[in-house]
Amino acid sequence: MCTMKRTKSSVIPASVVRRLTEYLAFTQTFGNENGDQWVSSQELAQALGLTSSTVRQDLSHIDFSGISKRGYHVRGLLGVLEDTLGANTIWKVIVVGAGNLGVAIAQNDEFRERGFNIIGVFDKDDAKVGRQVGTLKVQNSSAIKEFVSEQGVDIGIVAVPPGAAQTVADVLIASGVHGILNLSLSHIITPENVPVIEARLTCSLLELSHRIKFAKTAKRSVPRE
């Protein structure tokens, strides 16, 4: 199913990778909805609020060619995007922090369906340890290290209160995870070989809050073609 193509140039800029995830999401629904074989840079741009130029630049980073006058073959594009983003890889994931958010993440089937297989939930609060979360039981945070190395956990999701985030991240890194998704309010610093993605809802809400407050003076950055 997944051809062993590699990306053309070795490093794809983060800004481009972020948009690749959007192209993937769009292409997936696009294919389903109207069985179209082809999608143009123009169409992609319009759907995602970009210029067609940006789309073509972005897609030039992956090892896949469009065809003049037609555009990009939808299923082919889908396949290459999946390869590039690791969307067809099964990852072993644990969640640290069994608060509201952590529990919700752990129970969310969507992640599993997309290959992010949550196989453990941890909390340092004894009152939460042992609780059932979907098919899993909350384990004590002291067990993280052993669990990660025994199970070969790839990704740690950090969903703890701000003060504890860096400490938890340090444990995860020492335990051997390959990447971290940070949902906690405070920034996490990791060594070069452990990428971290910050996905903090409160920060996003504050950004929105600012934009609303100063909406009159703000200019949008979404071009229409």
Partner DNA sequence: TAGATTGTTAATCGATTAACAATC
User: Residue 186 interacts with a second copy (CB under 8 A)?
Assistant: yes
Contact of residue 53 among a second copy, DNA, none (CB under 5-8 Å per partner type): DNA
Spatial distance between the Cα atoms of 96 and 74, rounded to a whole number of angstroms = 38
The residue within the footprint of DNA, chosen from 66, 79, 97, 120 (CB under 7 A), is 66
Question: Please, which residue, 16 or 57, has the CB nearer to a second copy?
Answer: 16
User: Residue 14 interacts with DNA (CB under 7 A)?
Assistant: yes
Contact of residue 117 among a second copy, DNA, none (CB under 5-8 Å per partner type): none
Long-range contacts of 14-21 (CB under 8 A, 24+ apart): 16/57, 16/58, 16/61, 17/85, 19/48, 19/50, 19/54, 19/58, 20/58, 20/61, 20/62, 20/81, 20/84, 20/85, 21/85
Contact of residue 149 among DNA, a second copy, none (CB under 5-8 Å per partner type): none
The residue within the footprint of a second copy, chosen from 3, 33, 35, 150 (CB under 8 A), is 33
Q: How far is CA 140 from CA 73, 105, 145, 174, 182, in A?
A: 48, 18, 11, 17, 19
Question: Please, which residue, 110 or 150, has the CB nearer to a second copy?
Answer: 110
Q: How far is the CB of 101 from a second copy (least distance, A)?
A: 6
